[in-house]
Structure 1
Amino acid sequence: MVNTLRLRTAARTLLPLFPLGALLAGCGDTGGLVSAGSTPTASGPVHLWPDRRGASVPPADPGGAPPEYVKGIPPVRDQDVHAVDPVALVQAELRAHPDTEVGADGMPPRTAAAIQECATDQAGQAEQDPEACPVLKPYYRDLTGNGKDELIVGIEFPDKMMSVRVYTTDPGGRLNRIMATTETVISVELAGRDVILKVPSGNRGYELITAWSWDERQLTMLPTREQIVRVPGSPAPGNPAPGKSQAPGAREPAPGPGRP
């Protein structure tokens, strides 16, 4: 009887301890948000010297050549530039702008003379020497978004220079030149509806990439984006080219037996 009474008394003494232990165990993780510490303050563009009166910029002229209808070319049927002879087209431009060496129609006299000797028929163009005729193989792409191809012509100039010209047609069949630029060209590419020109940059080891795009307001193609990028494989600034000394003032090894 005494033992039973002691067991009941001990049980009543221990029971209140279980809720207290569970409560203490849950204090370490309440399930709420935990602070991650202080976060950096967001900073936007800061206008330096806001009280300074800046210079006024006049409206810029179009960067590309203004649209120009080519004279001396028969009307283009169904706006199909594939039927246009690119050599005859360039020859017509030479007749319209004779002895012009600068500007959109500028051409070295030697190049102009060589173009006059190019064959104007498709069979003759296939047989003529590409180096003898500066008018290169034409390319076609819809650059204006009207569902019709434009004609892209390249003309080789001396010293790796090149004239890149683009032509389109209107519903009346008139051939319209919408791009004409002359650059020392590394390469020419088509990306979507853009003509991409890569030319050497003023910085060694870099090239300038220019994207020409159709402008509906001016009805011509303009250089819309430019980017200077490092030429792949060129050494980083401060790193000598392979085969050169690794440090300024480094001495060459002294000649030894068998060493010149």
Structure 2
Amino acid sequence: MTGPRHLGRPVLAVSVAVLFCACAGCGDQGGLESVGPTPTAVGPERLWPTLPAATRAADDYGAGETAVVKGVKVPGGKLRAVDPVTIVRARVAAAPDDYKDIAADVADCPSSKDCPVLGGYYRDLTGDGPDDLLVAVRAPHRQAYLQAYTYRDGKLTQIMDDKDAVINVHLAGRNIVVRAAADLSGYEYRTSWSYDTHQKAMLPTRDEILRTGATRTPDLPSPSRS
């Protein structure tokens, strides 16, 4: 609530200055001068008003999809008590076609030193109090799966499953910010994922392509925007 008050103070100061000059006869002795008429604000203009509205999305982002992870017990409802490898293996076993590029490597976890499942991070992504789990799984061609899990209604549930040519991942509050390689030289994708209480899943609430200044992107295959 302090923002509007702070914004109002400079306006008040200018008004007092104008009033003072009007009373004291500032004239052109360093007084305020008009810079001309204020340009008229131009609002957004709708183009092609007769264009029919779309009835379905052009691409399936995979956003808003959730899946209950079966066969994994969560003692006390606390995800910290469960090995992330156990969760990922259960998901791969339940949907082998979706994870066929990592199925063999995940099957050797956790004994293999090349296990692609990276250590989990715990944050309250959903805003309901308990910590949720964020997992990264390395995939071929320097890509990675990013998965988020929560425990609700007595069930372990996957609330995010994204695959991309990931450069790095940041947590900003309850948002997951993913930087990924773009197929345009000198650019990268930056996507912010946030939990949506209606879909009860992580959604890409902001997706943008940014100039990085680099002369070329890493030698990667075209990123799969799943």
What's the TM-score once normalised by structure 1's chain length? Answer: 0.65
Whether the 8 Å contact between 1:79 and 1:171 is mirrored in structure 2 is no
The aligned residue for residue 3 of structure 2 is none
Match of residue 52, structure 2, among 55, 73, 78: 55
Instruction: Tell me, yes or no, if the aligned pair for 1:63 and 1:222 is still in contact at 8 Å.
Output: no
Counterpart in the other structure of 2:128? 146
Check 1:96–1:45 CA distance in 2 against 1; reply closer, same or farther (3 A cut).
same
Q: Whole-Å Cα distance in 2 between the matches of residues 222 and 31 of structure 1?
A: 58
Q: Which of 39, 42, 47 does residue 44 from structure 1 map onto?
A: 42
Aligned to 1:230: 211
Partner of 2:63: 64
What displacement does 1:59 show? Answer: 5.5
Instruction: Look up the equivalent residue of 1:73 and give its one-letter code.
Output: V
CA–CA distance in 1 between the matches of 2:121 and 2:134?
5
1: CA distance between counterparts of 2:44 and 2:137? 47
Q: 1:164 aligns with which of 143, 146, 155?
A: 146
Question: How many angstroms apart in 1 are the aligned matches of 2:144 and 2:64?
Answer: 15
Cross-structure match for 1:218: 199
Q: Which runs of 5+ in 2 are unaligned?
A: 1-23, 216-226
Give 2:85's aligned amino acid. V
Instruction: Describe the shift of the 1:136–1:36 C-alpha distance in structure 2 as closer, same or farther (beyond 3 A).
Output: same
Please state how far the C-alpha of 1:30 moved relative to its aligned partner: 2.7
In the TM superposition, what is the alpha-carbon distance from 1:192 to its structure 2 partner? 0.9
Q: Is 1:207 aligned to residue 205 of structure 2?
A: no
**Structure with the bigger percentage of strand:** 2
Q: Deviations over 1:105-151 (max 9, x none)?
A: 3331xx311211112xxxx6xxx52xx10111111111100111111
How many residues are treated as equivalent by the alignment?
188
CA positional deviation for 1:158: 1.0
How many angstroms does 1:152 deviate by? 0.8
Inter-CA distance 186–39: structure 2 relative to 1 (3 Å threshold)? same
Q: Describe the SS at the equivalent of 1:198.
A: strand
SS in 2 for 1:186: strand
Query: Which residue matches 1:118?
Result: 109
C-alpha separation in 1, matches of 2:44 and 2:91: 51
Q: Give distance in 2, aligned partners of 1:46 and 1:200.
A: 32
Which residue of structure 2 lines up, in the alignment, with residue 136 of structure 1?
118
Matched-pair identity in %: 35
> Which residue identity does 2:103 align to in structure 1?
A
> TM-score by structure 2 length?
0.74
**Alpha carbons of structure 1 residues 113 and 49: separation in structure 2 relative to 1, 3 Å:** closer
Counterpart contact for 1:142–1:150, Cα < 8 Å: yes
Give the match for residue 30 of structure 1. 25
Are residues 148 and 202 of structure 1, via their aligned partners in 2, closer, same or farther at CA, if it must alter by over 3 Å?
same
8 Å contact 2:185–2:214 — kept in the other structure?
Answer: no
Which amino acid in structure 2 is aligned with residue 196 of structure 1? V
Q: Secondary structure at the match of 2:171?
A: strand
Change over 3 Å in CA distance of 1:90–1:217 after alignment to 2: same
1:92 match: 90
Offset from partner CA, 1:4-43 (integer Å, 9 cap, x none): xxxxxxxxxxxxxxxxxxxxxxxxx635896524233222
Distance 2:92 2:46 in 1: 52
State whether structure 2 residue 79 is matched by structure 1 residue 81. Answer: yes
Moved over 4 A (4+): 31-35, 59-63
Alpha-carbon distance between aligned partners in 1 of 2:36 and 2:131, rounded to the nearest angstrom: 58
